[in-house]
Amino acid sequence: MKKLMIAALAALFSVQVFAIDLASAKAKGLVGERSDGYLGYVVKPASTDIQQLVKTINNKRRDKFRQTVGKTGATLDQVSKRFAQRAYEKTAKGNYVQNAAGQWVKK
């Protein structure tokens, strides 16, 4: 029983270790920067790992945007669009960004 539990825990941790990170997901063209400041799926349907990655990052971004709204008095829309502009500037060549029409384009 003890060996079975150890094997199960090892399998669980190995899945987390090999889960894809943001830079890899962007480089593979799976996700990109949306025009509203959030991360989006370039390739659909997205795998469970990618869905979890996008959800986690977007939740963190939403929290950060709300904090900025509270500190600056800007609207949530203003904050998220400013972030989107900065994210676009920082996006590596060959990665995807969403244009104003909502289409995914390589930078």
pLDDT in tens, the chain (107 residues): 544 444 443 444 433 444 689 999 999 999 999 999 999 999 999 999 999 999 999 999 999 999 999 999 999 999 999 999 999 999 999 999 999 899 999 99
Dig out the tokens for 4 from the structure: 């079975």
pLDDT at 1: 52
pTM: 0.78
46: nearest Cα among 67, 27, 62, 25 = 25
pLDDT at 19: 66
Cβ partners under 8 Å of residue 79, min gap 6: 37, 65, 68, 69, 72
pLDDT at 14: 38
